[in-house]
Amino acid sequence: MIITGIQDLSELESSGKDDLGQWLPPSMYTPLRRYLVDHVTAANNGNYGIAAVFAQHGEIKNSYASGSGASGFLLSKCEQCDAVINGNIAERNAVGFEVSNANDTVVVVGNRFSSNRIGVVLRSNSNAAFAPQHGNLFMGNLISNNDESDSPAQVKGRFGIGIQISGGQTNGFFNNRISGNPQAAILLENDGDITASGNQFDSNEFGEDAILANISTEAAPARDNCIKGISRTVPPNLIDELEPACQSMAVAGASMMLSGTGSLGGPAAPIGVEVSKVRPPRNQPQLESPVADSKLPLRVPQADISKFQPPSEDFLSELAGEK
């Protein structure tokens, strides 16, 4: 399912790529404005389950995605996106939820991104419109156990990762539960010459085995990422740099580079499952009543972020799992 302001869908990239419409300059299209996805189940669809590209002022809520070769949910290529992502489940995908050059006023709250190969990816696509990715808020999400073998292979062969920030900048993660991701709870890397910088993690609940890994290159090192609550890092000396990095974020003009490593530990990725053969989900609930046939509001109703505390490990588990 693709929601987009691009009128000629042949201009979107063909199957097998890891993004949609990456060569299109922002001046070519007027974004679609106002969209609502509610109680949609997207299973075994190919690259993407539910994707919003060149679109603003929208909600994706109470929906489900599994068996996607790229990502179950995708938000891509928008400035001042004005998007709320709430109450969704992504499992058995290469990536549960992906943000690619979707910037500002993106609020991702109260979702379950569990049992994928990677839970969440925030990517600055250096070859596409609106890079770098920046300014998203994640709160009250469960990002757990992303080492699911019954899932398609991820394009880079990644596996066992909770949150991957590839050149993403100034994103905030608060009151999330990030646990059971054996390769890395958080992975920092550059995308081309775009650095992972200015991201903040605070008041999140991590498992005791949570790992922060930085594989950014020396040419585009991770900078000024304030990450609290993790005691294990790759490389090991990165742990000693986290508190100073938080201090540098608080001081105007200060900057601190984080040490990186060339490799990751953790489990090897199992062979990917063909999209069509990923086990289907259990039946999902239907809307209690039809959506009124009326215009959507000009602005998306904002979520009350004060309500979102770290969820339990079984958050939304009654709707998760396969048939």
Residue 4 parent element (H or E): strand 2-4
| 65 within domain boundaries | yes
| 285 within domain boundaries | no
pLDDT at 253: 83
pLDDT at 174: 97
| 72 within domain boundaries | yes
The dihedral of CA 146, 147, 150, 156: what is its sign?
A: positive
| 179 within domain boundaries | yes
| Residue % of the chain over a pLDDT of 70 | 91
Residue spans of the chain under pLDDT 50: 13-18
| 294 within domain boundaries | no
pLDDT at 189: 97
DSSP state of 272: P
pLDDT at 9: 59
pLDDT at 291: 67
CB neighbour class for 156 (10 Å; exposed up to 12, middle 13-18, buried from 19): middle
pLDDT at 297: 75
> How many structural domains comprise the chain?
1
pLDDT at 304: 84
| 166 within domain boundaries | yes
Torsions phi, psi for 203 (to 5 deg) = 60, 30
On whether the CB atoms of residues 61 and 85 are closer than 8 A, the answer is yes
| 171 within domain boundaries | yes
Residue-range definition of the domain harbouring residue 126: 2-6+33-271
pLDDT at 266: 85
DSSP 6-31: -S-GGGSPPTTSSSSSTT--GGG-PP
pTM reported for the whole predicted model: 0.94
| 136 within domain boundaries | yes
